[in-house]
Copies of this chain bind each other. A is one copy, B any other.
Amino acid sequence: MKLNVQEKDDNKLSTITIKDIAKKCHVGVSTVSRAMNDHPDINPETKKKILKVIEKSGYVPDNSARNLKRIDARAVAVLIKGIGNTFFNQLVEVLEQECQKERYSCVIQRVEEDENEIDVALQVAREKKLRGVVFLGGNFSHSGEELGRLKFPYVLSTVYSGEDNKRIASVSVDDYKESYKMTEYLLGLGHKKIAIITARREDESIGKLRLLGYQKALFDHGIPFDEELVCYMKMNVDRYSYRSGYKLTKELLSGKKTFTALYATSDTLAVGAIRALWEAGIHVPDDCSVAGFDGMDAGKYSIPGITTIRQPAKEIARATADLLFSMIDKKEEPKRVIFEGELIVRESTGISRIKIV
């Protein structure tokens, strides 16, 4: 008989539940629950006993059931669209730290390129009983109305929302202004023919802003904008990656137009670009200047080091967390927080020698 009971228990590899633990301990399920969740109303000894049984039985509580019951989980989520954009890594790291400080748990969630980030947000918010969400990456220009579906606090970090509605919380640099700054810097070096590698032609996010800043700077300095010096990423193929930087630069080089400077709108693109130029026998910065954007390690440790606009990632992440938590806890209104980018001059740019490439 006893052996039978034993057998029955062991066979039950299906899934062991809180009830099984309760039975084994000869207590009620609520006592087990209290033991697991550090509730005050429980005898320390029974608690210890229960935890021991849990330990050796290998019981794992079902999070789905927990979330189902739970009204609030004191949790937020970070939704990342475009993983592989290594710039987000730093942000996420700091965001996680800040959450810990505030004793929030933090769900990191990838969003596929073809998924709607709003839908995903809605889903996990429901599933995990979130109090708020941070959006990293993605294209928020179209989502003016869409954003209205979000009934909880959220912050766009390093993302541009087409609606420059002040009621949308966001933290970022002013990509337009910073891009203008970079272009002006290149112009200041004497460059007249500045090629640019930028996001897809259809982009409505930061890619567009950076292109716009570039155009405006050219305009303000009386340089005509030349569409042939613009190289757009190809849909579903290119990203802010080394590979794309390399490929797109080759494209540029095979074109008829010449240039003395190349503005790659991310540091990763710039690395690939420099390699492509190098293979074509074009030396950076002597024959051609190259500039990046973001201030990532990729540009700091490459040779030559890449002139860039540094986004203060840590500060942005901290401000993002601050803003989100104050919206959650103190019911503060959404606001737009802008950080200043920093032009970092390294070895990839120099005075134009008007040596046509």
Q: Which residues of A contact B (CB under 8 A)?
A: 13, 15, 58, 60-68, 83-84, 86, 89, 108, 110, 122-124, 126-128, 149, 151, 241-243, 245-246, 271-272, 274-275, 278, 297-298, 300-303, 305
Evaluate contact between A297 and B127: CB separation under 8 angstroms.
Answer: no
Known: A13-B151, A83-B89. A303 touches B303 (CB 8 A): yes
Q: Are B60 and A126 in contact (CB under 8 A)?
A: yes
Least CB distance from A101 to B in Å reads 16
Which residues of chain B are near A62, meaning CB under 8 Å? 68, 126-127
Interface contact A126-B63, CB-CB below 8 Å: yes
Q: Are A297 and B242 in contact (CB under 8 A)?
A: yes
* A58 in contact with B149 (CB, 8 Å): yes
Q: List 21 A-B contacts (CB under 8 A).
A: A13-B151, A60-B122, A60-B123, A60-B126, A62-B68, A63-B64, A63-B126, A63-B127, A64-B64, A64-B67, A64-B127, A64-B128, A83-B89, A84-B86, A84-B89, A108-B110, A242-B298, A243-B301, A245-B301, A246-B301, A271-B302
Residues of chain B within 8 A (CB-CB) of A124 are 63
In chain B, what residue has the closest Cβ to A58?
Answer: B149
A297 engages B86 (CB within 8 Å) = no
CA gap between A272 and B245 in the complex, in Å? 20
Which residue of chain B is the closest to A297 with respect to CB atoms?
Answer: B242
Residues of B within 8 A of A151 (CB): 13
CA distance A29 to B272 in the complex (A): 55
A300 contacts B242, CB within 8 Å? Answer: yes
